[in-house]
Amino acid sequence: MQTGHVVPERIYYAIFAALMILTATTVAVSFVDLGDANVAVALIIAVIKATLVLLFFMHVRYSTRLTWLTIGAAFFWLSVMIVFTMSDVVSRGWLGFPGK
């Protein structure tokens, strides 16, 4: 007896191929000087890869709404943490240092 959604193997192979292409793209972009955009491009590619893994290999695409809500809450919390961390990093030079 089988429970849950059955995904065809060709979907897994297609997602694996996409992940390999995105990994090669990440490596290729790392050798190109894009200035400040290097980190942004690498993070965009990483988010796409993480989304593919989350949706297909972790079967979230076919999960219940409660699973989607839990994942959404986790990403919201992650974004809050990133915003607060970046606000600290950006504001470090605003105050003068004694002796300068």
pLDDT in the model for residue 96: 72
- % of the chain surpassing 70 pLDDT: 92
Helix axes 9-30, 37-52, angle to 10 degrees: 170
> Residue 49 and residue 53: Cα distance in Å, rounded?
6
Q: How many CA atoms lie within 13 A of 85 on its CB side?
A: 6
Using one digit for the tens of pLDDT, what is the confidence trace for 31-68? Answer: 999 988 888 899 999 999 999 999 999 888 888 999 99
**pTM, two decimal places:** 0.74
Q: Domain spans of the chain?
A: 1-58, 64-91
